[in-house]
Amino acid sequence: MSESSTQVDEIAKTGCKENTFKVIKDDPSLEPFYGDLLLRYERYKQLKSEIESKEGSLDKFSQGYTRFGLHRRKGGLEFREWLPGAKELYLFGDFNDWKEPGYPLQRDTFGHFYGFLPDKPDGSPAIEHASRIKLRVLTFDGQWLIRNPAWATFLIQNPTSFVYDAVFWSPPEEWRYSWRSATRLPLPKSLRIYECHIGIATTEPKVGSYAEFTDNVLPRIKELGYTAIQLMAVMEHSYYASFGYHVTNFFAVSSRYGTPEDLKRLVDEAHRLGLYVLMDIVHSHASSNSNDGLNLLDGTDYQYFHHGERGSHPEWGSRLFDYSKWEVLRFLLSNARWYLEEYHFDGFRFDGVTSMLYNHHGIGVAFSGNYNEYFGMHVDLDACVYLMLMNDILHNLFPESFISIAEDVSGMPTLCRPVEEGGIGFDYRLGMGIPDMWIDLVTNFRDEDWDMGRIVYGLTNRRWNEYTVGYVESHDQALVGDKTLAFRLMDAEMYDKMSIFISPTDRIVRGIALHKMIRLITYALGGEAYLSFMGNEFGHPEWIDFPRAGNNFSYQYARRQWNLVEDGTLRYQHLNAFDREMHHLESRHAFCRPHLHQWIMIQHNQDKVIAFEKGDGLLFVFNFHPVKSFFDYTVGVLWPGKYVLQLDSDSLNLGGFDRIDKNVEHFTRPVRHHDRPHSLQLYLPNRSCQVYYCVDMEEE
């Protein structure tokens, strides 16, 4: 399928923009795959043109939520739904006392069903706000099915049947949430993401609410210094223990946390605090639950999904979208836009992108970086084109604010380059190899055997022109069956050895020290943005396990123990304080943003020392040696002048031993070292890290 690079000169003949394949100019290694890039771009361009021709514009096409579903119109309610496998369709519910078959809907040749319910004589709607509705489907083979509308915007669980019922959410004007802040925030200069889950955000063993999160957790996030939140499990999912990744109802926000108006208040308050709001969106697959969700909605297994074996994920047990279908594209594009327009989300973290990109879904594939792994017949071209359309329309609609982050473990080149350059259009990808590296080092190697070169390579091995979100651990590393980094380091001693009134054990001393060092070096070298999962900032000791049959439906591990960090007698406060100091340092002196100076001077394996420059005037020094401290350790630097300590992981208030004299000023000498024109000498306590700032940079 690949074609010769000589065809790059033929771009103009294809009708593409002149810079369409800037990805090849930036990375000549892509030249052998020009044909694949051209095919992908041409398919995208052709589909976009077809949408514009038949639907008026991509803009209009992505507003399907204004036409589909149940809407208040002048004189009544309008309902529209796509069920091509249905012969007849009826709407019934509280409004007709659940009498069957229900209100009949008209079918057109495309499988769209339409109906108009006139207002009552007193002018009130035929279906009242907050009343339940269902679809009654007659298939062509004579089956009667009870289903929820695909475009339903709110559902509640029926206490009798335990299935979810669609609810017509159309509150009176006086009950609707009134937005206070700007519609959305511009992208922060420094993207520092706090990944969080509403339901487990309380100390109590229960399901937390949007309101509790707004009032109790948002202030914590702001105070720590994060600039963005990433909300997980927002889209309705009938199985709580799926962590929100087996979505049943795509346009509905989860009712287990509260109402749509409650979520709007949460987003509004986050914006008031200056927090950019990302949503974890799932377009890679859907729940196989047919009672509540899209599966078998019209009686066929191929309405929204691929038919047969191709339509089921072999490991997740979920359904896989057919991105080649017109109405699937309308549904998903409209779904993404819905959350930006209705709830004022600013951007998305797209889940399971690797599964979308490849027909093999990444299963059993150890991606080595060979470009042949990223192009060819094993790539799902339809999925790529959908992602290009999504990034195209949303970046054009919200050019100053929207960002998209891809969860892709494969490292596909061009994934995070603009569509017009030949890319797929994401802004960032998650640095998913970084936590794996730390887990391996902490679990399988003695401290004295840690390879400094491996650490540096693992943190910096990324495409230079595609941005990465670096992180030590996300929710993935906190799930039951796994361990948080803190628990890997300190294990059961976290339960009874974290008091400040007892001498810390060797394990606790090591764990606290390395937890801080690992976070900071990942923050500074691991990407152009940073992410941490809720609770990991203070070393939350336990995994996450949602209530389920296997644990007797316990909420014991489906919560966050804020009490641990609030208790002034426990060392968790020190880990939390270090997190805050890292972010405040980044606010003062940028070190985790695109286009910053970075130069690594030392990765000394015997000394276990890593040193590098970052940004304008920052010097980072890490001594991972378990026992050896260094006096007058010479470090080469670019900038001459006076260096002042900005952050010291060994500070007493951060859980250290205060071995660094903070009043000492360090001056460079005109002595070349580590291939830098100047040098200075520093004291490097073992298992500690320091950040210095060249104050003379301020005078330049």
Q: List Cβ neighbours of 372 (8 Å cut-off, separation of 6 or more).
A: none
Instruction: With CA atoms as reference, report the closest residue to 6 among 27, 28, 16.
Output: 28
Q: Which uninterrupted H or E stretch holds 331?
A: helix 326-342
- Tell me whether residue 108 is one of the annotated catalytic residues: no
Percentages (nearest 5) of helix, strand, coil residues in the chain = 35, 25, 45
Tally of CA atoms within 13 A in the half-sphere of 299 that contains its CB: 19
Burial of residue 444 (number of CB atoms within 10 Å: 0-12, 13-18, 19+):
exposed
C-alpha 428/C-alpha 408 separation (Å) is 10
Task: Retrieve residue 608's tokens.
Answer: 């276990």
33: nearest Cα among 25, 45, 24, 44 = 24
Q: Are 648 and 656 in contact (CB under 8 A)?
A: yes
What backbone phi and psi angles, to 5 degrees, belong to 395? Answer: -70, -30
Q: What is the total residue count of the chain?
A: 700
Helices 34-55/381-397 angle, 10° precision? 60
650-662 in b/e form (b: 16+ CB < 10 A) is: bbeebbbeeebee
∠ CA 331-132-64 to the nearest 5 degrees? Answer: 20
At 228 the three-state DSSP class reads strand
Closest by Cα among 125, 148, 134 to 72? 125
What are the b/e assignments for 358-381, b being 16+ CB within 10 Å? beebbeeeebeeebebbbeeebbb
CA 142 to chain centre: 43
Q: Which of 236, 351, 392, 466 is the catalytic position?
A: 351
User: How many other CB atoms are found less than 10 A from the CB of residue 108?
Assistant: 9
ω into 84 cis (within 30 of 0):
no
C-alpha dist (Å) from residue 360 to 35, 232, 347, 351, 388: 21, 26, 28, 16, 20
- Residue pointed to by tokens 């009870």: 146
Catalytic residue among 269, 280, 292, 407: 407
Residue 92 CA: distances (Å) to CA of 130, 300, 426, 664: 14, 22, 42, 77
Backbone torsions φ then ψ of 512, nearest 5 degrees:
-65, -40
To the query of whether residue 407 is one of the catalytic residues in this protein, the response is yes
Phi first, then psi: what are they for 71, rounded to 5°?
Answer: -135, 145
Which positions are catalytic? 351, 407
